[in-house]
Structure formats: C-alpha cells, structure tokens
Amino acid sequence: MNDTTRTAPPVAAKRPSTAIHHGIEVADDYAWLRDPGYPQVEDAAILAHLEAENAWFEARMAPHRGTVGALFKEMRGRIKEADRSVPQKDGDWLYWIEYEEGAEYKKWWRRPVAAGEAGDAADQLILDEPALAEGKDYFRLGAIAVSSDGTRLAYSVDDNGSERFTVRIKDLATGEHLPDTIPGTLSALVWVAGDTGLIYSLANEQWRTDNARLHWLGQPPETDVELFHEDDEGFRVSASLSANEQWVILATGDHETSEVRLIPAADPLATPLLVRPRRKGVEYDVDERDGVLFIHTNDTHENFRLATAPLAAPGEWTTLIEGSDSFYLTGFDLFRDFYVVEGRLGGLDRIELRWYDDPARIEPIVFPEASYSAGLGNNPEWHMEALRVSYESMVSPASTYDYHVAERRLELLKVQEIPSGYDRELYVTQRLEIPARDGTPIPVSLMMRKDRQAPGPLHLYGYGAYGIAIPPGFSTTRLSLVDRGFAYAIAHIRGGDDLGRAWYKAGKLESRTNTFTDFVDVAKGLIERGLTEAGRISISGGSAGGELMGAVVNSDPELWGAVVAHVPFVDVLATMLDPSLPLTPGEWPEWGNPIEDRAAFELIRSYSPYDNVRAQPYPPMLVTAGLNDPRVTYWEPAKWVARLRELKTNDSELLLKTNMGAGHGGKSGRFESLKETAEEFAFILWQMGVAP
C-alpha cells in the first residue's frame, strides 16, 4: 500500500507489560515499541509500525499538499537565499558566513584584514558545508574552531542526527585534511599548546560527556590523554577558553550544581586548578583577567551575583555586583578595558558595560522598543573598541549593530532582508500580563496585524522548562499564520527563567504542574480579553514543550483547535525510571528521581502525559519524532500516539510523522526544515478551518 492510499490509521498491537515501583503497579501495553537494541532500531515489527504511521500521515496530508507547497513557497520567498553575515575581525582575518542561491547549507569565508576591500581575489573559503553534505540525507556541523595562528581549522560533523560528531582538521594553506580523525565527539573544540593540541569530549554509550580529552596533532586518537573524568553520571563536562585565551576552563555540572577547573592553555597537561568544590544547588562559571578570577554564581542570591577572587586563592570570593530581586544576571564577558554584564530586568534583555577601574561607571545599551530580544553577538578579540550586538522584536527583523564604546553609539550594520516584502507598520506587538489561577501574573508576548478582526484564530506557543526563556523575537515563518488572521502569542510560563531564577524554580520538581496550568490560564485569559475563543486556539511546543502539549490536551482538550507536538517528552515516568537512557540521571534535578523518591514518583505519575491519556475527546494533533533522536527517544511519541488512538472517544485527526533519518531537530538544511514548518502550518489551517 503506498503512502497516499492507506484508508485507516494503524493500530499498534497491545502486549501487556507491568512493572512495580514503590509497591505500585505500572502497566504499559506499548512498551514493546522500544527496540531492545537501541540505538540500533532493527525490530521488523517496530519499523513496520512507524512506516505505517508515516503512510497514514502521507495519506491524510495528501489533499493538502497544495497548501503545503504554497506555504513553503511563501516562507522561502521571505528568505534572502544569497546572503552573508557581517564580517568580523579576529586577529589578522575577517570572518563571515555566506549562503548561495538555493543552498541548504552555508559556506565559511575569511579574508586578510590587510587586503581591505580588495575583492574576491583575497577571499578564502575555509569550510564548504554544501560539499560536505552532498549525497547525505542529514548533515549538521557541530563545533568549528580556527587555530590561534590562523593556519588550521578543526570542525566536527554529524551525518545521521545521532549527535555523535566526527572531528576533522584542515590545513587552511593547502586545503588538505590532516590524517587526524576523532569519531564520537559531542563538544566544543579548543586549541591549546601553541596550536599543537586540541581538547574535546567524547560521548559515552549513554550520550554523556563525562570527560575532557587532549589530542596531539599527528597522533592516533587511541593515544589521546584524558585530562579530566567526571564520575557523577548526572554531570556533563565541557571545555572553553578564557576571554584572554590564557586558560582552558573545564566545567562540569548538571541542572543545578557546577564545578570549574582551570588549566594553562600553554601547558594542558598541568595539574588543573580547582576554583571551588561543588556544592549541591550552587552554580558558577568563571573567567580570568590579570590574575583575577571573575565568578558568576547563585551562591548568595538565586538571581546570581558577580564576584572576584585572586588566582592564588580561587575559592575566596568577594562580591563585585550584588544579587538582585529585580535584575536577573544571566552572564558576563570580559574584555581588555571593560567588561559586559547581560541579564533581564522586568523580563526584558539588558546589556551593561562596566569598567574595572571605576565600579560606579555603568553604561547600559539603550534599545528603542518596549518589548524586544537583544544580546552580544560574536566578539572574539580581547581588545574590542566596538561590540557586535544583535537585536530583534516580534515585529522588527533581526538586526546587527556595532556599539562604539567610546562614543556610546549604536551603528546599524545589517537588517534581515525579506525579499518578498515586509511592512512593519501593518503589525502590532504587545506585552500582556494574565493572572494564573494562584494570582501570579504571567507575561505574554503578542503579535498580530493591526487590521485583525477579534475574536479570531490564535496560535499560542510555550516551553517552560530548564530555565530557558523564550525571547519575543522575529520569525518570518510566523507571518504565514499572522497574515491569515491569527494572533501569535508566546506564554512566558513558569519553568523558564524569563523573570529570573525564582520563575524557573516555580515550574520545576514539586512545582512542575504550574507550567501546565499557567499555559491553560493564559489561553483562558486571552479568551476573556476577546482575542479568541475556545476551540480557535492552535498550540505548539517541542521536546519539554511537547510534554506541555501532552499535559494540556489531557487537562483541557476543549480549548484547542489544533495541536502540534514536536519530538514530545511525554513518557516522563518511564524515562525518569530508567537510568540507562542517555539523559536520565542528568534530568533528575529538573524533574525529580522517581526511583529513590516515592513523592517524585507519584507527582510525575500524576502529570506524565502518556500515563494520563484517558477516554475523552481529544483535539486534532500532529506529532513528530526522530528515529535517531538521543534526547527524546522515538518510542515516546510512538507509544503516546498508540495510546491516544486506543482511548480517545472522538474521530479528531491524529498523525505521527517519524523522521527515519534524523534526530531531535528534525531534518537538516534551511529549506528541508522549512518544508516541515509548512506541513505544520498546513495542518493547523486545515484543522482550524482557516482558508489557506
């Protein structure tokens, strides 16, 4: 049976399976959908079921392929296909990236600073992604790092979505690759010891980076030296260079605790200097200038402070910037003559310049709109006179600025070009506050056309986990809904850190359900304000945001007109009960450990979307999965859809699409991924009854 002729949805076989935890029996009739040989998926019955679901997806979407095509053409028309970034100086070179007309992937270029505007003759192509991706169904560039002397390029590639990257090293003078090849990495690449060595991390069998390793150029990877090994299975190791490039910063941590060591970049085999031993619940990150450590930490205030310490006594921290209830200090960057603090004030991004020799001198960079997203861009040099800054809002396309420090002046360098046209004056953006059921005001960023008729269709997006804020940024694809009468809203629900660390804590562990009820209460508040109606709200979220989708369709199915759940983390209980899975131990600080803690078990069981599917009507749903996804394994959405098909009491649309050659991010390439967005929007328009 081909993809467009299937006449009924597949029904997964029920194979009873039970497990006992804390004296409670948990039944799972669809546990068989997990291949015991994972990450290899070779079970014929499992593959046949996934292919049958894909065939049902194709059959149901077949009448709407015209809409998908039209939306894709529309979305592609908003992308400047032949485009390049603003060049940035790093040492003796100017670096930029460039897309050619029709290309899925970008090319990496540089030119000697001394060549000035000499033209193409001086330009050097250092990495050709389209050539590397040729003939591959999936391609993703991981890390990329030019040696400090500018002669070599280290980079890593994943060509199947498994997030295991292979490192290669290229001689930039000859264009030839060195024989060095390092498979199985999952990390940044850090040049050390006069560019004779490279620090990286391998992913272990559970996709955990529990190590930092040193590779000497020209030596086989089997002889690489392990500089550090992490024994806590929940922690991940990473390496980076200090801003002055004198130190390798080896960091290890989970979602709530961290620990940092320093190694001289010139002598990577030296004994690492421990900054301060880990203490549960204390996070910190470090940089160094002139023998002084700068430490960003939450040890005395949940919204973080900035402290200093002498290199000779790295654990003796003295406050430089106090923690604040109002200002959430998210990070800092050191430069030769000044440093930059980034954070959020009232939920809005703030960038402040500060001076080492004048603590009272604080210069914020001022932006024009009431709601926006802004941050430091690529500023690679120790001595910077102009800072590269990025800026956008829900109605303002992405812009690149240089902030001239001495003049306190923003210089606009580039505005995202939309070839098919975009008139900012047709749209309006607002920032609302909608009370949750416990009285907490929940911020909502909203965009719509000025001529929109209310109440009308509305799309509501949310995430709400890991302390990840969702900025009110610009999206060209979003216009395909907004121009068809939708309002587009982002719910800044608890579980993200949009309003500071307390906002994050109020949506994790025992407070997890606030995330779900906040989202529902925002939807009801938007209805009460006359912006939309029950059943005319489409919603979407991915990964942990897909868990959000699963929770709210169980609790309030009547509110939603269409639901899109991308690689949804919906089998929360079973995943958190299985420490052999790639990410589980590192996730316990976020969700709780149901193996050891009965209260955590009962709480997760009470909201885990898969475990709470019940006999009731469900809204139309499109669910996606990736066969090679190591973060949300393919069987979570597959099991969820199987249980939904079994128990839902209405005939609403339910589709599962599994990318058989991709991972957590879906298809690679800027246009291939755009096709998936076009499918998503076509599904929403179809189910919401909005003319395409």
pLDDT, tens digit, 9 for 90 and up, residues 210-228: 999 999 999 999 999 999 9
pLDDT of residue 205: 83
Q: Report whether 197 contacts 225 (CB < 8 A).
A: no
User: For residue 54, what are its two tokens?
Assistant: 């894909």
Q: Report whether 635 contacts 569 (CB < 8 A).
A: no
Q: Has 325 been annotated as catalytic?
A: no
Q: How far apart are CA 251 and CA 286, in angstroms?
A: 9
What percentage of the chain reaches a pLDDT higher than 90?
Answer: 90
**Confidence check: pLDDT of 581 > 80:** yes
pLDDT of residue 631: 77
- Computed over every residue of the chain, the mean pLDDT equals 95
Cis amide prior to 455 (ω within 30 degrees): yes
Residue predicted with more confidence, 260 or 3: 260
**Confidence check: pLDDT of 2 > 60:** no
Q: Report whether 634 contacts 626 (CB < 8 A).
A: yes
Q: Has 438 been annotated as catalytic?
A: no
Helix axes 44-61, 670-688, angle to 10 degrees: 60
**Confidence check: pLDDT of 349 > 80:** yes
> Same topology for domains 1-79+569-692 and 422-533, yes or no?
yes
Per-residue pLDDT, averaged over 410-418, amounts to 96
Per-residue pLDDT, averaged over 564-577, amounts to 97
Q: Over the stretch 441-490, which tens digit does the pLDDT of each residue have?
A: 999 999 999 999 999 999 999 999 999 999 999 999 999 999 999 999 99
Q: Has 543 been annotated as catalytic?
A: yes
Please tell me the CATH code under which domain 422-533 is placed. 3.40.50.1820
Per-residue pLDDT, averaged over 417-431, amounts to 96
pLDDT of residue 1: 41
Per-residue pLDDT, averaged over 602-631, amounts to 95
Output b/e per residue, 424-436; b: 16+ Cβ within 10 A.
eeebbbebbebeb
Judge residue 407's burial from the number of C-beta atoms within 10 Å of its C-beta, 0-12 exposed, 13-18 middle, 19 or more buried.
exposed
**Confidence check: pLDDT of 233 > 60:** yes
Q: Over the stretch 261-275, which tens digit does the pLDDT of each residue have?
A: 999 999 999 999 999
Beta-carbon contacts of residue 314 (< 8 Å; ≥ 6 apart): 262, 273, 274, 275, 276, 293
pLDDT band at 630 (very low <50, low <70, confident <90, very high): confident
Cis amide prior to 39 (ω within 30 degrees): yes
pLDDT band at 311 (very low <50, low <70, confident <90, very high): very high
3-class DSSP string for 561-630: EEEEEECCCCCHHHHHCCCCCCCHHHHHHHHCCCCCCHHHHHHHHHHCCHHHCCCCCCCCEEEEEECCCC
Beta-carbon contacts of residue 328 (< 8 Å; ≥ 6 apart): 303, 304, 343, 344, 345, 497, 499, 500, 501
pLDDT of residue 119: 63
Q: Report whether 207 contacts 201 (CB < 8 A).
A: no
CA distances from 425 to 78, 144, 431, 473 (A): 17, 39, 17, 17
Architecture of domain 1-79+569-692: 3-Layer(aba) Sandwich (3.40)
pLDDT of residue 44: 96
**Confidence check: pLDDT of 662 > 90:** no
pLDDT band at 250 (very low <50, low <70, confident <90, very high): very high
Q: Of 22-31, 83-92, 153-162, 327-336, where does mean pLDDT reach its minimum?
A: 153-162
Per-residue pLDDT, averaged over 189-194, amounts to 97
Q: How far apart are CA 123 and CA 196, in angstroms?
A: 26
- For 209, the 3-state DSSP assignment is coil
597 — alpha (psi -120 to 50), left (phi > 0) or beta?
A: beta
Q: Report whether 536 contacts 544 (CB < 8 A).
A: no
By DSSP bridging, strand 88-90 and strand 93-99 are antiparallel
What percentage of the chain reaches a pLDDT higher than 70?
Answer: 98
Q: Of 543, 556, 566, 608, which residue is the catalytic one?
A: 543
User: For residue 473, what are its two tokens?
Assistant: 């940024």
Per-residue pLDDT, averaged over 654-671, amounts to 77
Spans of all domains in the chain = 1-79+569-692, 81-135, 138-241, 422-533
- Among the listed residues 685, 629, 692, 506, the one whose alpha carbon sits nearest the alpha carbon of residue 38: 629
pLDDT of residue 582: 75
The CB-side HSE value for 59 (13 A sphere, CA atoms) comes to: 20
